[in-house]
Each structure stands twice: as structure tokens, then as C-alpha cells.
Chain A
Amino acid sequence: MKQKLIKIIPAFSSGIRKPLLIIKLLLLVFIFNTLYVSAAVLKDESSKSPQQITVTGTVKDKDGQPMPGVNVVVEGTTTGVIADANGKFSIDVPRANAVLVFSFVGYAETKVGLSGRTTIEITMEESTESLEEIVVVGYGTQKKKDVTSAIAVVDIKQISESPVANLTTALQGVTPGVEVQGNQGRPGEMPTVRIRGVGSVNSTDPLYVVDGVPADIATINPADVESMQVLKDAASSAIYGSRGANGVVIITTKSGKSGAPRVSYNGYYGTESAWKTIDVLNMEQWAAMVSEANTAGGTTAPPLATDILANGYSGEETDWLGALFQKGAIYENNFDISGGTSNGNYFFSASQFKQDGIIITTPYNRYSVRMNSNWQADKFKFGENITYNYAKNRVQGSNGGRDVLEEGIKITQNIPIYNPNVLGGYSGYDASLVGHDASNPVGSLERQENYNYNKRFVADVYGEYQIFKDLAFRSTFGINSTEFQNRNLVLKTDMTPKNFANTTLNESATWTYNWIWENMLTYRKIFGDHDLTVMADYTSEYYKTHNMAAGGTTIQTETNDVLSKTEGGYTVGGYENVISRISYLGRVMYSYKGKYMLTANFRRDGSSKFGEGNKWGNFPSASLAWRISDESFMKNLNSVSNLKLRTSYGIVGNDYPIGPYAYISGLSSGIDYTFNAAKYSGVTVNGFNNASLKWETVKQFDIGADLGLFKGALEVTVDYFDKRTEDMLIPVPLPASSGNSGTITKNLGSILNSGFEFSLTLKKTSGDFSYSVTGNFTTLHNEVLDMGGFPITSGSTEPGSATRTDKGYPIGEFYGYHMLGVFPDQASIDAYVYNGTKIQPNAKPGDIKWADLKADGVIDQNDRYYMGSPIPTFTYGLSGNVAYKGFDLSLFFQGVQGNKIFAELVTWTQGMQNNFNAGVDALRRWTPTNTITDVPRAVRNDPNGNIMKVSDRYIKDGAYARLKNISLGYTLPKSLTEKANISNVRVYVTGRNLITITKYPFFDPEIGSNALGTGGSVNLSRGIDNGYYPQARTMIMGIQIDF
């Protein structure tokens, strides 16, 4: 076997040429911005009002160190500045007795009355309570203590301390009610995120909103993220109307802080490898099994097997899985510059990420640059946010319909990987010798250069004007332009008999062009004990997708791999579609004495996805909260720093399952006829779309409580939710007399998701020592309440459809036959009777004994049952952090319980019907001398359906507990670093997936769905393991430097 070398690729390798151009461009913009700052500063100086008093001061932390970036605001006004790098600020106040409000994330808000002073020095106290945190609630912000709905704030600090490959991974296990399924471990593949269960048989991806603009987060650089919030209940997500039903993830990116430019670098390097593999039979074991199978099946064993049985095997044995798996490099370089003045800030970052993957030919590269700035001039605020991301990944190819890991198990070891004497250099196989058709997976992968390129440009600008003291108007215009390209080059290869007979090249590109314009009025008034905020917004949005595709075959030389050099087999394709939306939305937030709080949202959405009469939908919600801890009767309980009860109800829509034009019936072309021996083209109505399609509706009730004890050292949040999806889209069969015997999609179904969410945080600091523990768990009950009488069968596997979704069961529950065991002998077959008649008269010893669940004496499809659900009933996460002096250690466990996996892999490891190789499980098979076993006999063509019946033979316990992350860091002493003019240096090592506790016997229990993408089939094919790209075990070392 050829040794795989890990290339230690220098950072910023040659692949960055294109992004460098972009960086140059952005640098220009950056310089322009810096000039603008100077201009703004000058303007500010000149516009100073003569009556005002200038107050200067310094902000320090408890250690007496100056604190940059602290917000200083004159109470009751919008006048504010940000403390500079030395903690100094200068602010103009209207009156000598004005009050200044100092705030900073993680610190208690401090109010200082000036009482005529013009110079002050204040010390900020760290807040152990998170109540003062500002939570982004969608179209606004709120203090955490005022939040009335179920919003989870994701601790983003973790991302910078132990980086993740993509942002959704950072959501896994950290907050209750949010389930993240590692959907294939393939580099660049996004995990599937489900918020509060699976609410539909259709698409249920949450809405991602980045800096106020709905966006895809696939290529976002996690290091750019400042904060991430999950809107879980309908009360919070209803403000996103027709797209909020699956929950909303709100992401705010980093922006600069006041002060001199600050430069930081964060980089790491590591390796990834598979943590588990599958042992396969060697050639002699294979020969024995195959001979046995052929004898049992009345067929002839392949000559190689017969030969090995007679003479033994002394040839080479290829470790196929070993050749497919590799130790892959993973590294990232992240670099940012930020800063600001008293009236503006800027932020600039560039990052490069590369991951080789743990299977050969699956690399992923990502480059991203981002810049933003925010400025204030009198009552006018404005800013922009510009991002460019570029991602490239290689798609795993296969040959002949089998996945490469499947081929890796099924192919026999006598076949070498390479054959230098044939075109392409990879070995084929001799079917007449080995009797099977598993082909060389290494050749299949390496000779198919299939790349995806994902390019994304996002830019938005905003302007905000304070019309009156209490009324502000903000307008945001954003553009999101993406280009998704695929380039699939299959090189002519001789791997007889499975050749790539011709070089083929297919290229496609899909562009999306999306703009959104939001206009928002916000009114806030505090009068006496009343605090009222009213928001009204008008948004319009336009989304266009355009695609083109072309392909050709036969290229004379491998290096001329462009379409113009193809010589035939041309294909072209292309499409375009448009979605447009208009929304009116509003919110009222009212609080009385900070104890009684009410929030009401309303959104009215109009969408081009729907036909007349259904274009508009209304999405209201309301939530109430009562801060009991502020009541006088609680004042004596000093240990209780916060106790709040919340409840909410809302109606939200899910428009994801509905594509553009779905309500319009189209025409089919190519329905041709022949006259006079010539073809005449025809176009006609050939199927119907439902003109009255509308949103799926989610109605959700939530009740929860937040409890803070011992000044926030212990925080507990509990929620119960009841989330009902109505009008779920279901394919309903048409009467064939309509002219179409297919289905029409109707709003008919209903699904319930309910459960408890619980989270607990414990924090403690004493001297140099601090620790925190956070745990959370979620229970989930998922049940289909109504399918309109039309259950859906889905989940394609080798034996057949593995899942069924019907009333009374969870979505996508596994459905099949029940295996009672393996018949040890003929007597047991003869004894298996119903009313004196043998139930399985054709079975042979070693075949599976199927349960006659219907009790009618025959084994048929009526004997199938619901075998278990892939949806965990219980998920949890637990993290712990300890810091002592410069050291910090964090551990993060995550796990699921109560779910089942349909291990389609068993059809490979215990197949034994097609002369393929098998896993070592096959050694446990029934033989006349090994009669008591759970693995049936080896037999060609599977007469008893041992393999080809969907059965609970394939059902495995999917529970696991996993040490997702362990990270140890050390921050160099300031005394040391300051000499080098560096403010902070932290070095760290992180290990991911180091420990996994599971009973699942194959590559990895953390699987998502065998259907990729965002369609409903993801939910209906969940938990089917057909040889997933396993999650990697990763070790990295990194460094963070702040200059």
C-alpha cells in the first residue's frame, strides 16, 4: 500500500492568489475609511455646541487597569462616546448635574451623577450576573433581564478559545432545545440544526440572520462572530413571520472598539483522523465464506475462492479502508484589525481555513474577509458591513452507485490499488475470478475531480436618525450575492471493467442576487414607572437565482480540461427564479417598574411564493414576564438575585418547503408524437400544482422561569414548550381520473413537539482561581398528530424504504420486520408453526426467524412494525471551565439518548450474498458447527430476505456521550508580553472527539441523515447510516496574540 504523506502546507499557500486581490481591494476601502474618520473627527470638533460642558475621565477595572471600549452615555440622551485604548473619554454634557451611564459587556452598568464635576474616574465592577447583557431580539435589542421570551444566548467565547470549523458546530450541545446533528463529518458540510424538535416532514432549517440580514451561514468565519442568539419560542421568532417557524439564529459580527488600531492574530494547526474503523475479512476468510454462500445458494463459487480453499493465499492483501482514510491537516490563520474614535469604529478581518479531511480527496478551503464600520455625527448614525467569503471543497466521487466506504469494505483484498500499466494507473478487477463487482474506490476518488466553489459577497449599509428624543428612524439596505459553482472532471481511466470510458467535464454555476431594504421606526419612552418601546418596520426583499450548466465528453489530454476541448456529448442547462416579499411588522414592549413586562409582536408577510388569496399571512405573538425577585416580599431573600416567570404564545410560519411558483401549474414539453415517420414536438398540461398552497403554521406555547442565586453565581433556566405545526404540507394522491395519478401538495398535516429545557450555570471566582460549570438538557416528544390519511414512506436503503411517517408516531420512525433470531436447525423451522402450518416453510437452518406479528401464518408486509425513532428523546451538554493564574482548561461533553440508528452498513459487513468481502461480523455467521448466533448463514441471492428485508436486524442503539472538546490554554504573563509591546498572548491545545462512549459498532454514532441538503427528506431519512463520513478525532495547537 502506498504510504500517504501528510503535507504540512505553509500558511497562505498558492491557492490564495484570488483572495489576495480581494484583500488589496478591501485595504483600499479601509484606507478610504480611515481618511473618512479623520474628516469626521474634524467635523465633530467644529460642530461643538458652546453651551455644553466637556467632561473628561478615565475608566478602570478592579485591578486599576484602564478599560478601553466602555460605552459612556449621558442618561436620557443618545449622546455617547466610547472610552479609548487608555480608558480615557471626553464627552459633552448639557447640564452640570447630568448623569453618565457606563456600560460594558460582562460588567455591571454604572451610573455616576456629575454634580458639577468635569473630571471623573470610575471603576467598573465585573458582573457575575448576565442580566445586564444586551440580547439581540430581532429588529432590536433588550436587556436580558427584560426578556420575556425563550431566547438562548450562545457563549461565543468558546469559539475563540477552541476554534471550530463552522459556526453551527459551535451551537452543538451548548444550549437546550437546539439539536445539532453532525451531518457527515465531511469538511465543509454543515451540520443540521433543529430548534425544538422537527416541526415538519418538510424543510425545518432555522432562519439565520447575520447583522440583521437573512443569510446563509455556511461560509461565515466563526472568528468574526461577536454574539449568537437563538430565538426558540414563537413569541421571539414571530417577528420573522413566515420564516420564523423553525426558530431563528441571530448572529452579530464583531465591530471595532474605540481606541488606537488593535491588531490580533489567532491561528492553529492540527491533525484529524478517524477514531474507529471496521475490520474486514482476509482472503482466506473471504474464500471460506463465499464458498459456503455459493454451496448454500446452489451456485458456483468464484474460481479465486475455490483456489484459496485448496491452496491457501499467499498474495498481497490491500488494506482498502486504510487506503481510504488518512490523517489530515487542519489549520486556520485569522487576523484582525480594529479600532475607533469617539465617534466611530472600524473592524477588519481576514482568515484562511483549510481542512484535508480524514478520507482522501476531500479537502476544504475557506477564505474570508470582512470589514465594517459605524459612525456617528450628531443625530445621525451610519455604517456598513462588507464580507466576502470563498470556499472550495472537493466532493467525494463514487463509481457505479456505491459509496466509497461501501466499496472499501466490499472489495476483496487481492486487488492492488495501483496498476502502472494501464491508463490512469489504478487497478481494475477480474469479475470472472472474484465473482463480484466492487471496484477500486481509491481510483474512483482520485480520478474524479469534483469541486464545489462557494463565493459569497454580503454588503449592507445603514443610516439611523434620531428624529426626536424618543423616536429614531433606521434604514438598512443589504445585498447578498452568491455564486455557487461546481466543476466535475472525470478523467478517462482504465479500471476494467468499471472504467471511466471517457473524460467528461460538467460545469455549473448558480448565482443568487438578493437585496433587502428595511425601514424601521423605534420609539422609546420612559415615564415614571413605565417603560415603553414601540417599533414599526417596513421591509421589502427580492431574491433572484440564476443557473447555467454545460458539459461535454472526450478530451484528448488531461491538462486541457476546459469545455472548449470536449468533443461531444454536450449538455446544457439553466434556470432562473425570483422570490419577492413585503413585510410590515411591529412590536410593543412595555414594562412596569421593571417587574411586569409585556411584549407583543405582529408581522404581516406578503410573498410571491403564494397565489392570489394566500399571498399574505399574519403572524402575531405575545409574551409576559414577571420578575418576582423585584417584589417587596422577595427583598429579604438575599440569596435570590433573580427570579422571573415567563410565558408566551405565538403563531409563526414556515415557508421553506414551498419553492417559487409552486402554486402555478406548468406545462411539460417533450411530449412528442410521430407523424409520417417524423417527430413532432408536443407541450401540454401534465400534472397539477396546488393553487391554494400556503404557509405551514406553527403555534407555540412556552412557559419558563429564570432563577439567579447568590448574585448570579448560579443561574438556572427552565422552559416547557408545546409546539404544534398545522397546515403541514403533505403530498396527497390525486384521483387518477384527473389525468395525473401522482400527488398534489396540500396543507393537511399536523405535528407536535413538546419538551422540557433545562440549563444551569455555576460560576465562581476566588482570587486567581475561577471556574464555571454549565449543563443543559432537553427532552423531546415528537409526534405526528395528523397526516390527512396519507403516511409517507421514505429513507432509501439497500433493502428498501426504512422509514414511515404516520399519525401517532414520530417523524421518520423506522418501519420493518421483526427478527426473532436465527433458526439453529431444521427442527426449529418445523416447530415454527401457525395453526399447524409452517410459517416459514422455505427457510433453511441459519436463516432469520421473522415474527408473524399479524398472526396469520405468513410473513408479509403486514408483519412490519415501528422499530424505533431516530429522534433522541433526551439530549444534553455539559461544559466546565477552570482558570488558575494564566492557565485555563475547558471540557465539553455532549450526548444524546433514546434514538435509534438504522445501520445499513450491516448489509455490507454481513451481506454474504454477492461474493463481496465482509466485516469480521461475518465470522459469527451461522454454520452447521456454529448454530447459536445472531448472524444468519452465508447464502447467495438471499432467499429468505435475511438482507433484503427492512428489519430490526439493522436497528442499533444510537445513544452516545462524547467528549467533544477539551482545551488547555496558557496566557503568558503581562509582565513578559508587555516588554515585547504585546498586550496578550495565549497558547492552547485542543482535542476534539477524544472520548466517545457508545454501543454503536460502526464508524460513528453521530450521524444525521442519509439525505443531504435542506429538503424534507433530511427529516425522513434521518438516522440511516450508510457509511457516513465519520466525525474526526482532532488535535490542534494554537496561539492567540493581541498586539
Chain B
Amino acid sequence: MKNKIFQFLIIVVLFFTSCEKDFITQENDKSRYTPSTFYNTKAHAQQALNAAYAGLNQWANGYVWFLGLMHYVLGDDLYETGYAAGFTPWGAVTNFDLVNTQSPISDTWNGYYTNILWANTALEVMPAAQAAANDPTFTQDVLNNYMGQAYFLRAFMYYNLAQYFGDDKIIIRKSVPKTEEDFAMAPSSADETFKFIESDLKMAQSLLTTGLNNTSGYEKGRATRGAATALLGKFYINRGFYTQAAAEFKKLLPGVADATYGAYSLTANYRDNFTRTAKNNSESVFEIQMNDFNQQGGWGNNDVNWLFQNFTLNRTSWAIMWWNFAVPNFKLEDPTAPPTDVSQFESWSEVIGGVNTKVYDYRTYETFWGVPNGANFTEKGVVKDWVAQGWANETVAGKTGVYGIRKYAVDRDNEGPTGLDPLWSDNNLRIIRLSDIMLLYAECLANLNPSNVTPGDQNSAIYWINLVRTRANNVAVDQAHLYSTRAGVNGQLPTAQALMTAKGWTLLQLIQHERYAEGFCEGWRKEDMKRWKVGASFVKSKYGWKGYQSLTLPVPQSEIDNNPAWPR
């Protein structure tokens, strides 16, 4: 009996000792997905990729809010009204009063790195998912395309990070951190950063086969070979590599393009670049996709275009524009501006209906609310004319003449499917579009062939500038009164070479002017100003401005504090 008990005990102990490792391994958390077990089908690889895109339209780490605000605010397009309560740090940023403890700076840094993590997740899990899936539809080509998109997204994030913070402040993360040691990493040298971003973009360029953003059968909004090419060109030009930049831009341009990179064309009307009905059009190279605000509307929600309510002044009689922390840093007529000032919209007088009337570059009406005889907003059937309301002559934060940004906004409160607040919209943000590329190509040419001003020569900057200016003259019936003023009158912008001559501008000044008028408040300025190293004459009202270095954000203190590997 005793022996039997001993035997039993020994068996019990041995039994448990042999399987105890399994017994205390309970890794199957049913309430969560875990990376090691989740990604093993094509659908799951797609989900990893979708999430890598998601960073673009999240509230906390995307262009719905923080990244979008920084994209539009850093530059001289806008100035702070001082009206938006609780918006102090963003007001400081609009004035280049940059301190590395400010939340907009850390939110920008943090947001891009979150998106990098999500891109790295996709890059890491998709090949493994393909290997595990054993799915005939999940071919190497499909995987290559997915990987190309993920490389583009990672490059897009790094492109922006490097642009904001400087090539020598960037931490290159090529994989998802896994252990304690992975969390803390030192920044790379500027050279390493350059090579890393260039390599990712080239990788995306080679892996992606689709060129156009609106190719049928390829969901609109995905990264394309064209987008990777455009970004690579911008990457080069921002660092002064005009030859390399020109080679990339050229692949995209009508008439000289390589077809595999996408046959882009300017839209017939300038306005099509800003309406919610003409998203993902032939001019669009890369857009951030927003969703239907009826399903998504609400403070703090993802996927909704929230930004443009910020850039129009709130007035009690126009309460629908309720946020208003910054408005255009712009004057229609600035008598103090020197004759060489390129940052003015063109205007001239014409006799309309027997009255001598000031007429502006058409793009002025599409860009702003508040221009005399300009676009109106219709609120619940009542037309609100900014000038008639007397707001154009108000003084706000020391500035007289208050405008709002009309680009991306809708013109009436019933344009949305249910007529809700028009400033929460599903309108996409056009991050890269063809006229931007054309003007950058022109800039390359102007630097490479400064003497070539032959209008008909595709190797001259003038050629490409004129394409953009000619399109600006195309008029669609948008708000009828905007164009009726032009009926029977000249109403055309002069040619590039005529303008240059009239103003006494250099080719580069001409380009600076054109990019100002074409891309006002589209986030182009921060890069342009940095590239051109323009100083205070563009940003005279910004109290924190210390020269072009003010366009580089300081690395947030929180990163320095929490990253033991940060050099100090």
C-alpha cells in the first residue's frame, strides 16, 4: 500500500513536471490579437497595410488634426487671431515662437513616429503573412505592391519628419521595437537619414507599378509609383539636387512623362483641386482620404476633414465658422510692399458695367473668403457676403482686412448630404498635385538653365509656368457672380514672360510668385521658404521669426527626456 502511494506520488510529480512549462504558458489572449499569430492571410496583410495608411487620417497622429495643423500652419500663409481659447501653443507656432516643450511640436514628432511604427508593422508582417497564407491570389506581385505602398508610407513620414526637424535629428527605425533596448535609439547622421529616405522612396518606386491615383481597379487613395516619384523629386529639390529632382519630376509631366509613372494632367478648372466632388482627379498625385462626415462627425473623431474651420474668422452672425484660430496672412493691397514683393496676388482694373472695378487673379476668389465681389457662403439659404457684412475692414490681432480660407471648405451649409456643419467634411487633402510638380520642375530648370526663357521650350521654366497660369484662366461656373464680373472683359492673367518683364522679376522670383498664388495655404510654403531661404520680408508679422532656421522645429523635450540614447 505504502509503495503504491509512493508510486502514485512520483507519477503525479513527474507528470506535472513534464508538462508544467505548457501549463503555465497561457499566451492565447482571446481578447486581443497578437502579432505572432494574427497575420497569416492575405486579408490580414491588407489590414496591416490599411493601418499603415490610417495614420494619415487619425486625430491624434494624423492629418485630421495635429499633423494637418502643422502642415498648414508652419509658414507665412496664416496668422494667429488670438481668438481660439486653449490654442495658445498653436498660436505661438504660427508666429515661429518655437519651444521644445510645446504640445504642437511633440504632437508632430509623436504622430509621425506612430505612423512609422504602423508602416514598420506592415513591412514586417506582410511577407510573413504571404508565406503563411498559402493563398494562390496572394502572389509575389501582390506582395510587392503592398510592400511598395508601405515603403512609400514610411518614406512619407520620414520625409516630413526630416523636413520639420532636420536630417540630423531623425531616429531611423526600420523595425518594430521588441525589447527594452529597441526603445531607446540615437538619431542618425544627416547622411544616413538622406540615404535611408532615398532608399525607401526608390524601393517604393520600383515595387509600385500603378502610376495614377485614379487608375481603375486600384482603390483611389493608395500610394502610386507617381506619388513615390513626386515625393522623391521633392526630397531632392529640398536638398538642392536639381538634376536628380528634375529627372524625377519629368517622369510625371504631360508631354514628357514616362507612362508607367502615370499620365497626369491639370484639371480643367483650378477649383476642382479643392472640392469634395472632384477628389482623386487627374491632377492629384497623392491625397489624404477623408470619410463621410455624417458617419464620423464629432470632435476628436478620425477620418473627418476638420481643418478648414480653423482658418476662417468666426463672427456671431456667421457662427457656423466657429473655431477660427488662424486666418490668412494676406492683404489684397499692401501699399508698403516693395515693387519686387512676389507675395501678392495679381490684380488690375477693368470697366465692368460701366464701373471701374478691381479684378483679381481668379485663384484669389477660390482661395479666400472676403475678397471684394468674392465668393459668398450660404447659410440656411441666406447668402453671407463677407464684405457686405463689413468684416473685411475689421482689425483682428493688429491686422486690418480679415479673410478666411475658402480652399477645401464648402460654400453652403447644405452641400453635405444632410446639410450639416459644412466645416466637418469628407473633402480630401491634396498633398501633392501636378501644378506643384510643374512649378518645382520649373524651379529645377530655372536653376539648371537660368538663361532659357523661351516660352515654347519644354526645357525652359517659362513653359511650365505658363501651363499653370493658362489653366488659372479657365473659368467654370462656380458662383455665377464671380465670373459675371468678367463677362466681356479681358480677365486674363498675363503670360509669365510679360509678368516678369512688367515686375522686373528674375525667373526665380517669378516662380516664387507663382507658387504663392497657386498653392496658398496648401502647405507648400514651409518647404519653399526653407529652400529659398527667404527671410523676414515674407514673414514680417511673425514675432518669433529668426530667419529661415525658424522653419525647423526643435526636437521635443519629451523625446530627449524619455530616450536614454539621445545624445546630451
Contact = CB atoms under 8 A, between A and B. Distances in A.
B51 A683 contact: yes
B291 A677 contact: yes
A732 B180 CA distance: 12
A579 B24 CA distance: 8
Interface string A575-590: 1111111100000000
Given A671-B118, A672-B303, A734-B183, A683 B177 contact: no
Interface residues of B, number: 76
B430 to A, nearest CB: 15
Contacts of A675: 53, 219-222, 289
Interface stretch (A363-371, A488-496, A737-745): A737-745
Contacts of B122: 684
A741 B16 contact: no
B528 interface: no
A10 interface: no
Nearest to A669: B33
A676 B559 contact: no
Interface string A658-672: 001100111101011
A734 B561 CA distance: 10
B114 A576 contact: no
Contacts of B44: 683
A674 B291 contact: yes
A738 B106 CA distance: 13
A473 B31 contact: no
Contacts of B56: 673
Contacts of B418: none
A884 interface: no
A236 to B, nearest CB: 26
A580 B26 contact: yes
A615 interface: yes
A736 B289 contact: no
B273 to A, nearest CB: 18
A674 B221 CA distance: 8
Given A660-B29, A677-B426, A683 B38 contact: yes
B97 interface: no
B558 A733 contact: yes
B452 to A, nearest CB: 41
B184 A680 contact: no
A740 B114 contact: yes
Contacts of A685: 35, 117-118, 121, 176
B183 A667 contact: no
Contact of B23 (A582, A683, A691): A582
Residue of A576, A665, A672 contacting most chain B CB atoms (<10 Å): A672
Residue of A660, A667, A684 contacting most chain B CB atoms (<10 Å): A684
A682 B2 contact: no
A860 to B, nearest CB: 14
A633 interface: no
B346 to A, nearest CB: 36
B87 to A, nearest CB: 20
A676 B426 CA distance: 12
B562 A736 contact: yes
A473 B302 CA distance: 63
Contacts of B219: 675-676, 678, 680
Interface string B387-408: 0000000000000000000000
Nearest to B32: A666
Residue of B5, B291, B426 contacting most chain A CB atoms (<10 Å): B291
B33 A683 contact: yes
Interface in B272-302: 279, 289-292, 302
Given A473-B9, A683-B48, A737-B173, A577 B563 contact: no
A676 B563 contact: no
Contacts of B30: 575-577
Contact of B221 (A538, A660, A676): A676
A454 interface: no
A806 B53 CA distance: 40
A660 to B, nearest CB: 7
Contacts of A540: 16, 20, 23
Nearest to A746: B180
Given A606-B20, A666-B33, A739-B113, A673 B50 contact: yes
A679 B304 CA distance: 12
Contact of A465 (B5, B121, B220, B562): B5
18 contacts: A465-B5, A538-B12, A538-B16, A615-B25, A661-B29, A664-B32, A667-B38, A673-B221, A680-B46, A734-B183, A734-B562, A735-B563, A735-B566, A736-B558, A737-B113, A737-B563, A739-B113, A741-B558
Given A538-B12, A681-B50, A684-B52, 16 more contacts: A467-B5, A577-B26, A580-B26, A582-B20, A615-B24, A664-B29, A666-B32, A673-B57, A674-B291, A675-B289, A683-B51, A688-B177, A733-B558, A735-B566, A739-B116, A739-B173
Interface of A: 465, 467-468, 473, 519, 521, 538, 540, 575-582, 606-608, 615, 660-661, 664-667, 669, 671-686, 688, 690-692, 732-741, 744
